[in-house]
Amino acid sequence: MSIGLEISGLQVRFGAFTAVHELNLRIAPGESFGLVGESGSGKSTVLRAICGLAPLAAGAVKLTGAGELPEPGSKAFRRAVQMVFQDPYGSLHPRQTVDSMLAEALAIHAIGEAERRIEAVLDAVGLGHGFRFRYPHQLSGGQRQRVAIARALILEPKVLLLDEPTSALDASVQAEVLNLLERLRAERGLTFLMVSHDLAVVTHLCERLMVMRLGREVETLAAADLVRQQVSADYTRDLMRASAGFVRSA
Ligand SMILES: Nc1ncnc2c1ncn2[C@@H]1O[C@H](COP(=O)(O)OP(=O)(O)OP(=O)(O)O)[C@@H](O)[C@H]1O
């Protein structure tokens, strides 16, 4: 069963600087939601705050849906909510094989049947078993991102936090990884919260999105409305103009 995510009054401070101001966000179970905005607007900080990597100065994060739901800060929450980073070269350990990275993720969460799960997850992300004993430098950028997705997926999460998951990739590889993510979401009933500076990527993968600026919400709208250029805020129009190829003239 899918699980949703709710953020209320989220505030994140780094010393005297407030990176995120009282942000509210509700993502339905199984929904794919995007966060867009210029560099420094606080998008990555929101993802990091959700999974406990950035401190909450105020506000709350909770999972929503039927049944018993893991509490933020618990081991079950850290398993249910997985993050995939932009730069798979930076996020994969250079001296660890794909096999040992995946086995380590299972060991941390005391999940058994490593052999079966590792083979199954490599199949799921479209990498054959031949990739199992390779090191990151023996993989292409797209293959590395598939490994990063596999490492998140092997824990059978409910929510994926995707931080610019395809921006380090060539356009054709980017499309393959986006299609993979879309298929995995449909097959597994995953909920996505994706950060991207690329409006074409966000509108391809997400149903709704929030435009952020200087740590605040500018507006939240359906991806289809952004494509139809039905937006309310001037800032969103500026962002559309700045996103190469998204609108030719506005
Ligand atoms: N650990 C930190 N310590 C101090 N300031 C930070 C820290 N992390 C982020 N910031 C600041 O918080 C603000 C928001 O950063 P964040 O990375 O969330 O923006 P972003 O919208 O994801 O940008 P980009 O698209 O460039 O990744 C920036 O001004 C950044 O310098």
Q: What is the ipTM of this complex?
A: 0.95
Closest Cα to atom 18, ligand 1: which residue? 42
Locate the domains of the chain by residue range. 4-242
Q: Is the Cβ atom of 39 under 6 angstroms away from ligand 1? A: yes
Q: Quick one: residue 30, left, alpha or beta (phi over 0 = left, psi -120 to 50 = alpha)? A: left
Closest Cα to atom 25, ligand 1: which residue? 39
Cα 209 to ligand 1 centroid, rounded to whole Å: 19
Cα 19 to ligand 1 centroid, rounded to whole Å: 7
Show pLDDT as tens, one digit a residue, over the chain (250 residues).
899 999 999 999 999 999 999 999 999 999 999 999 999 999 999 999 999 999 999 999 999 998 889 999 999 999 999 999 877 667 788 889 999 999 999 999 999 999 999 999 999 999 988 999 999 999 998 999 999 999 999 999 999 999 998 888 888 899 999 999 999 999 999 999 999 988 989 999 999 999 999 999 999 999 999 989 899 999 999 988 888 667 654 4
Residue from 36, 38, 41, 45 whose mutation best tests the ligand 1 pocket (most atoms within 8 A of CB)? 45
Cα 217 to ligand 1 centroid, rounded to whole Å: 15
- CB neighbourhood size of 71 (10 A): 11
Closest Cα to atom 1, ligand 1: which residue? 14
Superfamily of domain 4-242 in CATH is P-loop containing nucleotide triphosphate hydrolases (3.40.50.300)
